[in-house]
Amino acid sequence: MKKLFAALAATVLSISALSASAQSLPPPTIAAKSWLLLDASANQVIASSDPDMRVEPASLTKLMTAYLAFAALRDKRLNAEQEVNVSVNAWKVDPSSSKMFIEPNKPVSINNLLFGLISVSGNDAAVAVAEAVSGTEDAFVQLMNREAQRQGLTNTRFSNPHGLPSPDTYTTARDLAILCRNLINDFPEYYKTYYSVKKFTYNNITQPNRNRLLWLDPTVDGMKTGHTSSAGYSLITSAHRPVPNGERRLISVVIGTVSDQVRTQESQKVLNWGFQNFDAVKLYAKGQPVDTPDVWKGSQGKIKVGFKNDVYITIPKGTADKVKTHLDRNDPLIAPISENAKVGTLKVTIDDKLVTELPVVALESVGPAGFIGRAWDSLRLMFK
């Protein structure tokens, strides 16, 4: 699957799957409607079951709500310490559902709303955040769907900011994995601040984070639970563990289990299986030339090509010495060539079986040659 490998804030990210031919280890049996394990370091799906099944996200919807709130903070449209009034619309959201217990016309800080949204999954907080970002809940929902489209979440649609049941709110495990990786990459400081909090007190009411793995596994630092009677119990978990060349992060998406206990144990099972049986191997460093091919009709004769970010691949343990790469260039490379323009594809194989394909880009720009230089290269190309 040819997908863009990048970790830039303004870039749409997709995820490639570890080819079945390169993965000899059978995946675990997970008691869930749908699940997926993503190696966020390599942006590769290690294993999955029905990852494109349409599912009800329930409170996993709040991942997009938080993403848009973080974007508003980044862009200075909101300030974490500013206080906003709570509308009756936010306060009266389904009283039987999870809430942080904000009150009408009682000012609350954006910072507290984000803790209420993320750590205790407050549906009232979700509406208040939506109104703070966009003015109205309806306007925010439009923003959610535009952002989903920008991120390439092709099987996702939102109708509210909290995830209470609606036939017009749906997603997939694959789309949720992309959203989670984008959130962590685009807003690492906000992720660190809000997603690992184990309990939160507001209005003299203390509530625990429903992600039990925050207590059970010290390598887990997020992300989000979801539950309705129709959706079942879901959990997205992110864990980072040390490896010889740094840290490695896995994201597990487990959708539609029968209980809180089951979603916890199945998420732990998926994470442990991924860490124990697969490695993320660093192929190239950011800006490291993969090749320096010829450029035709250019102001210089060579160009450096490679990746704008560190490049990792996910492979079964013990197979690192079998990894081979081959660059298919888009020859002939004719100037002008802009920096970041795709110039080829790097194919990664193990035992001649394809693991993944990664686009290779120009690490520098090359302008056009003068008239004589272009004419001369045109003649040379005729006989190449």
- Active site members: 59, 62, 121
Size (the chain), residues: 384
Q: Are 51 and 18 in contact (CB under 8 A)?
A: no
How many whole angstroms separate alpha carbon 368 and alpha carbon 338? Answer: 11
Strands 323-329, 199-202: pairing kind: unpaired
Question: What are the Cα distances from residue 289, in Å, to 139, 303, 306, 331, 371?
Answer: 45, 9, 5, 17, 29
Rg (CA), the chain: 23
Instruction: Name residue, tokens 């029968």.
Output: 258
Spell out where 114-245 has E strands: 199-202, 205-208, 220-228, 232-243
One-letter amino acid of 282: K
> Measured between alpha carbons, how far is 199 from 186 in angstroms, rounded to an integer?
25
At 157, which amino acid appears? R
Tokens at 292, concatenated:
């320096």
Q: How far, CA to CA in Å, does 229 sit from each of 89, 233, 258, 293?
A: 24, 8, 10, 58
Query: In the numeric block, which tokens belong to residue 86?
Result: 């709570």
CA distance 311 to 296: 28
In whole angstroms, give the CA distance from residue 118 to residue 63. Answer: 8
Handedness of CA 294, 298, 303, 305 (dihedral sign): negative
Q: Look at residue 293 and give its three-state secondary structure.
A: coil
CA distance 72 to 349: 42
